[in-house]
């Protein structure tokens, strides 16, 4: 199974971007995307350090909400 994580593009410089993943910022590669397709303010899916797809804001927020629910359920005490 592969995991792609949604994030918000903060900046783009050449073929690299800084993406914010809920407060954690990472540098990612844009080699798999058309030049100019990824720009600050857009949401993207990142897999193994590469942007693999852009997302519209609604789709990104829905995915991020589901991730928050999963994380909260993992942090909840059991028993």
Most confident stretch, 1-5, 8-12, 71-75:
8-12
pLDDT over threshold 70, residue 1: no
User: What is the per-residue pLDDT across 13-71, written as a single tens digit (0 to 9) for each?
Assistant: 999 999 999 899 999 999 999 999 999 999 999 999 999 999 998 988 888 888 889 88
Phi-psi map region of 38: left, alpha, beta (phi>0 left; psi -120 to 50 alpha): beta
**pLDDT level of residue 10 (50, 70, 90 thresholds):** very high
Question: Euclidean distance between the first and final Cα of the chain, in Å?
Answer: 29
What global pTM score does this model have? Answer: 0.83
Q: Which residue segments constitute the domains of the chain, with CATH numbers given?
A: 5-75 (2.30.30.140)
* Of residues 50 and 75, more confidently modeled: 50
The single residue listed with the structure tokens 């928050």 is 68
């Amino acid at each position: 199974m592969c995991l792609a994580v949604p994030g918000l593009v903060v900046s783009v410089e050449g073929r690299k971007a800084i993406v914010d993943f809920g407060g954690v910022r990472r540098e990612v590669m844009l080699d798999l995307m058309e030049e100019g397709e990824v720009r600050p303010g857009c949401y993207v899916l990142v897999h193994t350090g590469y942007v693999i797809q852009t997302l519209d804001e609604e789709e990104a927020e829905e995915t991020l909400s589901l991730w928050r629910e999963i994380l909260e359920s993992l942090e909840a005490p059991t028993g």
